Amino acid sequence: MDIGITLFNHILSNQKINPKATGAFSRLLMAIVVAAKMVQRDVARAGLVDVLGRAGGFNVQGEEVQKLDNIANQVLKRLLFSSGEVCTLVSEEEADLIEVPRQYRRGDYLIHFDPLDGSSNIDANVSIGTIFSIYRRITSPETDPELKDVLQPGLNQVAAGYIIYGSSCMLVYSTGSGVHGFTLDPSVGEFILSYPKIEIPKKGKIYSTNEGNSAYWDQATRDYIDWLKNPDSEHSKPYTSRYIGSLVADFHRNLLYGGIYLYPADRRDPLKPTGKLRLMCEANPMSFLVEQAGGLATTGTKRILEIKPTEIHQRVPLIIGSSEDVKAYQEFVAKSDEKINL
Ligand code: AHM
Ligand code: MG
């Protein structure tokens, strides 16, 4: 492995091999990299609650302490606007499309992002992350961006990635030619290539799901999870259960070790049997990455990347991971007579 390739160099060398590249896309990625370092700095200080004050409360100077997801949202917006390369943004934290303020140049790209995924874990010092998904606009650059620009299927993503704030800070991304992971060296403030061309094992031994919800799942999902727990050496079962409750962290572990992550539809609210995770800022970017790494992502019946979105905050069931594990799940769904609206 080459040692010492910085993320900055990686982005620039990809730009150089594309004769049509203008540098716009590289500027956009660099803005995300700087935002990642800023959010990492703030996340690392989150443990100092007694000194700085708990989010939502007041610090020792009597100033209101902002919630970290809010801070991360503001940081990303500021850096992305300043890049001059975005025409609109969609954040998990905001209900509507985010307009680019007049003082900034407007570019051809739009980004869906979850500024701080798994943020309910912050106080317990559990890994959390930022997820991003980049598209090129499809309407004329002369006009204001429209809903159809932000409601493109995941297959149209030009890049996607995440930053994980864990025992180290890593940025993992793909522009459609493999998945690459970089680790932040805090002593020099640079992301260094640590996992080039990540390939998810074809089959894992880990399943990750919130089994507390199993009473609300469809029968096929319950049967599949029971099957994983039945000892059977031919299929390397029983599987190990690992669930952090932070999508970025659960996904990252499974990407490296192999396995399957499931957030299926549940029937707690019969009017919304659509799971919890958001298509645009969670399921699509993770599905783009997993496919680039040789894995699969499905609702159970549909490939995630082919879903035609209808709303910016649409939720979908997400079953994602090693190809053989996801295929085994799909077989359980295919055999089932139960019709669940996926
Ligand atoms: P968030 O975006 O509000 O943080 O919610 C998404 C998170 C994912 O990170 C995680 O996989 C899931 O919600 C956990 O949900 P649950 O607590 O229902 O298991
Ligand atoms: Mg989230």
- Please report, in angstroms and rounded to a whole number, the separation of the first and last CA atoms in the chain: 42
CA-based nearest residue to 151, from 195, 198, 112, 204: 112
Average pLDDT over residues 251-277: 90
pLDDT at 6: 92
Q: Which sign does the torsion angle of CA 154, 70, 183, 122 carry? A: negative
Which residues contact residue 57 at a Cβ distance below 8 angstroms, ignoring those fewer than 6 apart?
A: 64, 65
Structure-block tokens of residue 265: 């539809």
pLDDT in tens, 179-212: 999 999 999 999 999 999 999 999 999 999 999 9
Query: What is the amino acid identity at position 295?
Result: G
Residue nearest to atom 11 of ligand 1 (CA): 247
Is beta strand 260-263 parallel, antiparallel or unpaired with respect to 240-241?
unpaired
pLDDT in tens, 15-39: 777 767 788 989 999 999 999 999 9
Average pLDDT over residues 273-280: 91
What's the CA-to-centroid distance between 60 and ligand 2, angstroms? 30
- Cα 139–Cα 88–Cα 76 angle in degrees, nearest 5: 150
pLDDT at 291: 98
For residue 50, pLDDT over 60 is answered with: no
At 132, is the secondary structure helix, strand, or coil?
Answer: strand
Alpha-carbon radius of gyration of the chain: 20
Region for 178 from its dihedrals, namely left if φ exceeds 0, alpha if ψ lies in -120 to 50, beta otherwise: left
Question: How many Cα atoms sit within 13 Å of 17 on the Cβ side?
Answer: 7
Is beta strand 159-165 parallel, antiparallel or unpaired with respect to 318-321?
unpaired
CATH superfamily name and code, 7-195: Fructose-1,6-Bisphosphatase, subunit A, domain 1 (3.30.540.10)
Length of the chain (residues): 342
Query: What is the amino acid identity at position 140?
Result: S
Ligand 1 binding site (Cβ under 6 Å of any ligand atom)? 92, 114, 117-120, 210, 245-247, 276
Is beta strand 98-99 parallel, antiparallel or unpaired with respect to 86-91?
antiparallel
Neighbours of 9 (CB within 10 A): 14
- Topology of the domain covering 206-341: D-Maltodextrin-Binding Protein; domain 2 (3.40.190)
Neighbours of 213 (CB within 10 A): 17
What's the CA-to-centroid distance between 275 and ligand 1, angstroms? 11
Reduced 3-state DSSP string for 219-256 = HHHHHHHHHHHCCEHHHCECCEECCCCCHHHHHHHHHH
Whole-number percent of the chain with pLDDT over 90: 75
Per the prediction, the chain carries an average pLDDT of 91
For residue 59, pLDDT over 70 is answered with: no
The residue to mutate among 263, 279, 280, 313, having the most atoms of ligand 1 within 8 angstroms of its beta carbon, is 263
For residue 302, give Cα distances in angstroms to 85, 99, 142, 158, 307.
32, 32, 35, 21, 7
Region for 294 from its dihedrals, namely left if φ exceeds 0, alpha if ψ lies in -120 to 50, beta otherwise: left
DSSP H helices, 101-184, are: 147-150
Taking a 5 Å cut-off on Cβ, the residues next to ion ligand 2 are 114, 117
What's the CA-to-centroid distance between 41 and ligand 2, angstroms? 20
Structure-block tokens of residue 297: 């992502």
Residue 188: DSSP 8-state: T
Give domain limits for the chain: 7-195, 206-341
pLDDT at 190: 94
CA-based nearest residue to 282, from 112, 94, 52, 79: 112
For residue 53, pLDDT over 60 is answered with: no
Q: Which atom of ligand 1 is nearest to the CA of 117?
A: 4
Q: 48-62, 239-253, 265-279: lowest mean pLDDT where? A: 48-62
For residue 293, pLDDT over 80 is answered with: yes
User: What is the number of the ligand closest to the CA of 249?
Assistant: 1
286 exposed, middle or buried (CB, 10 Å; 0-12, 13-18, 19+)?
buried
Q: Do 72 and 122 form a contact (C-beta atoms < 8 A)? A: no
Average pLDDT over residues 105-112: 96
CA-based nearest residue to 105, from 84, 87, 89: 84
Average pLDDT over residues 166-176: 95
User: What is the number of the ligand closest to the CA of 276?
Assistant: 1
Q: Which atom of ligand 1 is nearest to the CA of 250?
A: 11
Q: 59-63, 197-201, 291-295, 296-300: lowest mean pLDDT where? A: 59-63
Q: 68-77, 172-181, 247-256, 271-280: lowest mean pLDDT where? A: 271-280
pLDDT at 64: 61
